[in-house]
Amino acid sequence: MKCSKCNKDAIIFQKYSGMHLCPEHFTKDFEGRAKKAIRQHRWISSGDKIAVAMSGGKDSSAVLYFLKKVFGQRPDIEIFAITIDEGIKGYRDPQAVEKIAGRYDVKCYITSFYEHFGLTLDEIVEKKGDRKSCSYCGVLRRQILNGFARELGATKIAMGFNLDDEAQSVMMNVLRGDLERLLRRQKPAEGMIPRIRPFIYLPEREVALYANLYVEGFEERGCPYSHNALRADVREMINDYNYRHPSTKYALVNLGEELKEGLEEDSTQLRTCEVCGEPVFGECGTCRILHEITGIKR
């Protein structure tokens, strides 16, 4: 197949646009849409210090590459990487993340569950079984991410979330009946570093292709606990449905955004946890989980 925009060989077919694209035109289209998302949400402005949350996987590595390529020459914008070692043997490798960041001349800051909570995720699973591994992991990681980025002076946290991830999150909140999360808006709040997701409108397979074209050494191994994630089931369900109805993922992401925008005012309340001092919505998930795991009321 030839590229729909020039005469070179195409490397991808976009079902939703009907276009075949060569590497050059795919890159132009991909980066153009990521830049548009940034403009539309006013995600980056002069003076920003952007902490790219890196897992070492394709999405976050691709975000780092993209941000460095587009904003790396701007003297008024700083970009650095942060990574959190959950302590999952054979999976998480902070040194590999550091290496990827180093290739783009980006400084990488590393911290861990052990450093913050005195426990690795493997130890938590040993104590509590692996059924809730992902809910523990997700809550604890989110808290460290925010606090660590804040300590480093970040004004934004860039996440590798793609269209598929975002559609899954909306659906997961529906399936959990979690209205609070479905309606929670990202508004500026004391102590809470705003998150930006430049790839939010880009399908996972396009992010994978972009990463394969430009990023070396990203991690392709899956987490040994990922079978416990509700996300895995939801992913399969949406992919299956999207195959027959190609705009499903966009529809879910738009629904999530419109639900939040439709609110007169934000109904969710941000407060400061009196135990750990972090900004939280409702009950502090981190303190609840640490109590559950250690039996010690903090």
Q: How many residues bind ligand SF4 (CB under 6 A)?
A: 9
How many other C-beta atoms are found inside a 10 Å radius of the C-beta of residue 269?
9
Which one, 222 or 282, has the nearer CB to ligand SF4?
222
Does position 226 interact with ligand SF4 (CB under 6 A)? The reply is yes
Among residues 55 and 242, whose Cβ is nearest to ligand SF4? 55
Which partner in Zn ion, ligand SF4, none is near 223 (CB below 5 to 8 A by kind)? ligand SF4
Residue 119 interacts with ligand SF4 (CB under 6 A): yes or no: no
From candidates 12, 199, 225, 287, binder to ligand SF4 by CB under 6 A: 225
Q: Which is nearer to ligand SF4, 47 or 90 (CB)?
A: 90
Segment lying near ligand SF4 (by CB under 6 A), choices 24-32, 43-51, 129-137, 247-255: 129-137
Q: Which is nearer to ligand SF4, 44 or 170 (CB)?
A: 170
284 counts as binding Zn ion under rule CB under 5 A: yes
x/- map, 115-154, Zn ion, by CB under 5 A: ----------------------------------------
- The reply to whether 275 sits near Zn ion by the rule CB under 5 A is yes
Q: Would you state the structure tokens that stand for residue 283, as one six-digit string?
A: 């009950």
Three-class HEC string of the chain = CECCCCCCECCEEECCCCEEECHHHHHHHHHHHHHHHHHHCCCCCCCCEEEEECCCCHHHHHHHHHHHHHHCCCCCCEEEEEEEECCCCCCCCHHHHHHHHHHCCCCEEEEEHHHHHCCCHHHHHHHHCCCCHHHHHHHHHHHHHHHHHHHCCCCEEECCCCHHHHHHHHHHHHHHCCHHHHHCCCCCECCECCEECCCCCCCHHHHHHHHHHHCCCCCCCCCCCHHHCHHHHHHHHHHHHHHHCCCHHHHHHHHHHHHHHCCCCCCCCEEECCCCCCEEECCCHHHHHHHHHHCCCC
Q: Report the Cα 246 to chain-centroid distance in Å.
A: 23
C-beta atoms surrounding 287 within 10 Å: 19
Out of 72, 94, 138, 194, the only residue in the binding site for ligand SF4 (CB under 6 A) is 138
Q: Does 67 bind ligand SF4 (CB under 6 A)?
A: no
Pick the binder of Zn ion from 184, 273, 281, 291 (CB under 5 A): 273
72 belongs to the binding site for ligand SF4 (CB under 6 A): no
How far apart are CB 160 and ligand SF4 at their closest, in Å?
13
Which among ligand SF4, Zn ion, none contacts residue 275 (Cβ within 5 to 8 A by kind)? Zn ion
Interacting residues toward ligand SF4 by CB under 6 A:
86, 133-134, 137-138, 223, 225-226, 229
By the criterion CB under 5 A, which residues form the site for Zn ion?
273, 275-276, 284, 286-287
